[in-house]
Amino acid sequence: SKALLFSLLFSDFLFESCAASSKDNAAISPERTLVWGPGLNSDVVLPVRYFYIQAVNYAGGNITQSPAGKEAFRVEIKTLSSREFLRIHVPQPLDRNDGSFLMRYRMYGTANEGLKIEIFHEDKYVAQSPYILKGPVYHEYCDCPVKDPQTWQTVISCPDKEPQISKDFSAFPSIDLQWMLKEISERFVEQVGGIVHYTILSNKIYRRTLGKYTDFKRFSDEMLLSLTRKVHLPDVEFYISVGDWPLEHRHVNDTPGPIPIISWCGSADTRDIVLPTYDITYSTLETLRGVTNDLLSIQGNTGPPWSKKIEQAFFRGRDSREERLELVRLSKEYPELLDAGITRYFFFREKEKELGKAELTNFFDFFQYKYQVNVDGTVAAYRFPYLILGDSLVLKQESSYYEHFYSSLIPWKHYVPIKRNLKDLIEKIKWAKEHDKKARKIAKEGQALARELLQPHRLYCYYYKVFQMYAMCQTNRPEIREGMELIPQPADNNSFCNCQNNKPQKEEL
């Protein structure tokens, strides 16, 4: 009858409309897709340049899971001039498993006339592609610092304030360099054995080592050299501890007061000024070259989707703290909830027979598990930045130690806190399993904040702001002290750097 015919036709219409709507929601719209990031700005010089791609559907909504197909986007980067040969390492975009992609590229020479960046989806240009970066586009080893620091900070998008820096320098309204010269030698050199004394004058780096154990100076050397190739640093004289522990235990009201030593790790009972750790600093410098785990690559290797991860908490590490041994004991008692193992014994060798030794696990494989346990090592566990960048919920031990970005994190918003003695760990794992949506939300909130705070350009900003603040607090002029040597910039044999930003600018009328 007519009613039946109408019903059939209406059903077909609904089916086709739903199918079209489903297609619109799943399929990538090349025109609507979003592309942004510092790697699209020729003036932002970093060891590895990077930008982001957010897949958007035809309805205008962000796609929130990995699009179908292994290569949703293809990127080609080449020099604008066919006469200019330049080696550029251009790996595939990293799928971040949430509809967004991270694109990295490393230049091994300067593109004097510029670069052309083409982004494709199924051979169609994406967003505003092609992107033209007018030259010169400097590579990492071009010694072409921007003379105006404010211009550099604006171009690289540095935040106006860093809460941890303000807190660290609140103990040091003034810094007497002559007094420090005497105090450091008397109080720390023999006791600690790993302090590096730097002076930066006219953007040149001078250094002397104090103590026997200063091999880690290569990390601070390389970062300072990289930073001074990008921006003119203020004249400044300072000391960096290259050991594990923060050093200055004096309080602000003590007489004499505390000394502003710079360290890679801080604690609640010390006054050290904190810089990003040597680990994440080096991984930033060596991305796409000398390291396998870095703050960018980790974002494309976060394991299976949340729903397919193993519902256990996971830990692997050496025996650098007794609580880590307790993790293994808990793992044996609650194997269905926790998989924990010690991979190397050094501090508690007598416990190896009792607790056993676990095989090393590829770090990317950590994220096969839904929950990650973060327990201190000798100080703060330097794996924490990598864990929170992953796609798992981090269960973080309460600790007096911290890295430079911890003050921006909020317990129960960005991670789940666990007691220092781990007495509530099993309870917290059970909570996470019973409140899967809340656990997932905390994991995503932590990941999102870490993606923002731990971008390579933000690390450079942080370093600069520490030295800027230090220079402002100095009460006397930095000097090149006896025993200091100049740390030269590495020779750039790959290309000629035409440093346009070093040319004198015309005065404004």
Q: Output DSSP code: residue 34.
A: E
Angstrom distance (rounded) from CA 133 to CA 118: 11
Residue 481: helix, strand or coil by DSSP? coil
Rounded to 5 degrees, φ, ψ at 6 are: -60, -40
Over range 469-490, report the average pLDDT.
96
Please tell me the predicted confidence (pLDDT) of residue 419.
98
pLDDT at residue 492, as a whole number: 66
Q: In what order do the strands lie in the sheet with 369-374?
A: 338-342, 310-317, 369-374, 393-397, 416-418
pLDDT of residue 54: 97
Kindly report the backbone phi and psi dihedral angles of residue 114, in degrees, each rounded to the nearest multiple of 5, phi listed first.
125, 180
DSSP 3-state of 155 = helix
27 with 57: CB under 8 angstroms? yes
- Predicted structure pTM score: 0.92
- What pLDDT score does 504 carry? 42
Question: Rounded to an integer, what distance in angstroms lies between the CA atom of residue 417 and that of residue 394?
Answer: 8
pLDDT confidence of residue 494:
55
Over range 78-94, report the average pLDDT: 94
E strands, 337-456, in order: 338-342, 369-374, 393-397, 401-402, 416-418
> Who wins on pLDDT, 239 or 68?
239
Confidence of residue 499 (pLDDT cuts 50, 70, 90): confident
Q: How far apart are CA 334 and CA 424, in angstroms?
A: 13
Work out whether strand 114-121 and strand 74-79 pair parallel, antiparallel, or are unpaired: antiparallel
Q: At what angle do helices 425-434 and 436-453 cross, to 10 degrees?
A: 100
pLDDT for res 12: 52
Kindly indicate the confidence band of residue 70, based on its pLDDT and cuts at 50, 70 and 90: low
What residues pair up with 240 in beta bridges, in sequence order?
196, 262
**How many CB atoms are closer than 10 A to CB 499?**
15
Q: Average of pLDDT values for 45-72?
A: 92
Report the Cα 228 to chain-centroid distance in Å.
20
- Rounded to whole angstroms, the Cα distance separating 456 from 105 reads 13
C-alpha 450/C-alpha 457 separation (Å) is: 13
Q: Residue count of the chain, please give it.
A: 509
Q: Residues 189, 212: contact at Cβ < 8 Å?
A: no
pLDDT at res. 17: 44
Per CATH, the architecture of 297-454 is what?
3-Layer(aba) Sandwich (3.40)
Q: Which residues contact 288 (CB under 8 A, 6 or more apart)?
A: 48, 89, 91, 104, 106
pLDDT score for 496: 67
Nearest to 403 by CA among 263, 232, 266: 266
Tell me the average pLDDT across 37-49: 97
**Which pLDDT does position 280 carry in this prediction?**
95
Q: What is the pLDDT of residues 121-136, one digit of tens each?
A: 999 999 999 999 999 9
Give Dmax (Cα) for the chain. Answer: 103
Q: Distance between CA atoms of 151 and 417, rounded to whole angstroms?
A: 40
Give the pLDDT band (50/70/90) at residue 175: very high
C-alpha gyration radius of the chain: 26
Q: Give the pLDDT of residue 24.
A: 58
pLDDT surpassing 90 at residue 273: yes
**Parallel, antiparallel or unpaired: strands 338-342 and 310-317:** parallel
CA distances from 464 to 162, 236, 406 (A): 11, 11, 19
Cα–Cα distance measured from residue 363 to residue 382, given in angstroms and rounded to the nearest whole number? 13
Question: Out of 23-27, 102-106, 463-467, which region has the weakest mean confidence (pLDDT)?
Answer: 23-27
Please tell me the predicted confidence (pLDDT) of residue 337: 98
Say whether pLDDT at 14 is over 90: no
Q: What is the CATH number of domain 34-142?
A: 2.60.40.10
Position 221 pLDDT exceeds 70: yes
Question: Which residues, other chains included, contact 238 with Cβ-Cβ below 8 Å and sequence gap of 6+?
Answer: 197, 198, 260, 262, 467, 470
The residue ranges of every structural domain in the chain are 34-142, 163-284+457-488, 297-454
- Decide: 205 and 240 in contact? Cβ < 8 Å: no
Which tops the pLDDT comparison, 447 or 506?
A: 447
Tell me the residue type at 365: D
Instruction: Please give the mean pLDDT across all residues of the chain.
Output: 92
Q: What tokens appear for 52 in the block?
A: 């982001």
Q: What is the pLDDT of residues 226-262, one digit of tens each?
A: 999 999 999 999 999 998 899 999 999 998 999 999 9
Checking if the pLDDT of 10 tops 50, the result is no
| Range of weakest confidence among 22-36, 271-285, 376-390 | 22-36
State the alpha helices, DSSP H only, in 365-504. 384-389, 425-434, 436-453, 456-473
Task: Give the N- to C-terminal CA distance of the chain in Å, as an integer.
Answer: 86
The tokens describing 237, both together, are: 């004289």
CA distance 88 to 108: 6
The pLDDT of residue 495 is: 55
Convert the pLDDT of each residue in 332-353 to its tens digit.
999 999 999 999 999 999 999 9
Please calculate the CA angle 165-457-76 and round it to the nearest 5 degrees. 170
3-state secondary structure of 505: coil
The average pLDDT across 460-476 equals 98
Phi (first) and psi of residue 178, to 5 degrees: -65, -40
pLDDT value at position 498?
76
CA distances from 438 to 166, 413, 432, 446 (A): 33, 10, 8, 12
Which pLDDT band holds residue 316 (cuts at 50, 70, 90)?
A: very high
Please say whether the beta carbons of 168 and 116 come within 8 A. Answer: no
